[in-house]
Every structure is written in C-alpha cells, then in structure tokens.
Amino acid sequence: MTPEMVMTLSHEAMYVALLLAAPLLLVALVVGLVVSLFQAATQINESTLSFIPKLAAIAVTLVIAGPWMLTTMLDYMHRIFTSIPQLAG
C-alpha cells in the first residue's frame, strides 16, 4: 500500500463524510438562523426555543435525505470492500 493509495482513500472518506453531513448541518444552520431572527425580533430569549425546531427539521431532513445518505454510504463501503484485494496485494 503506497502513500498515494492512503491519501486517495482518506480523501474519498472525508469527501463522503462531508456529503453525508452537509444536508443535516445546512438545515440546522438555516433553522437556527431563522429562529435567532425570530428571537431577536420578539426579544424572546429562551434557549430551548431554538432546540426543538432544529430537532424537528433535522428529523424531517433525515426522512427525506435518509435513503440517499444510506445509498451513498453503502456505495462507498462496497467500493472499499471490493478494493481490499488490490490494496493488499
């Protein structure tokens, strides 16, 4: 296993991790921003007010994007497991 193979595998792993995390992080960011704007406009400073909408939005995002995320992860794992003989030998 050469250093180039290790770098390629680690680059691909980080790329897949970024792809899988991006939808959830973006939804949490947008919902947090909207709730913060609402709290600033109404001067409600309740910390739990931002938690419940984020949790609900992330749950909806997981329901919507979950099949794509699962397919992406399974494709990546399939590529990794099928490349083990080439990497070892």
Higher pLDDT, 89 or 68: 68
> pLDDT by residue (tens digit) across 55-80?
999 999 999 999 999 999 999 999 99
Domain boundaries, the chain: 3-88
pTM reported for the whole predicted model: 0.82
Q: How confident is the model at residue 2 (pLDDT cuts 50, 70, 90)?
A: confident
**DSSP states of 13-53 as a string?**
HHHHHHHHHHHHHHHHHHHHHHHHHHHHHHT---THHHHHH
> pLDDT by residue (tens digit) across 15-61?
999 999 999 999 999 999 999 999 989 888 887 888 999 999 999 99
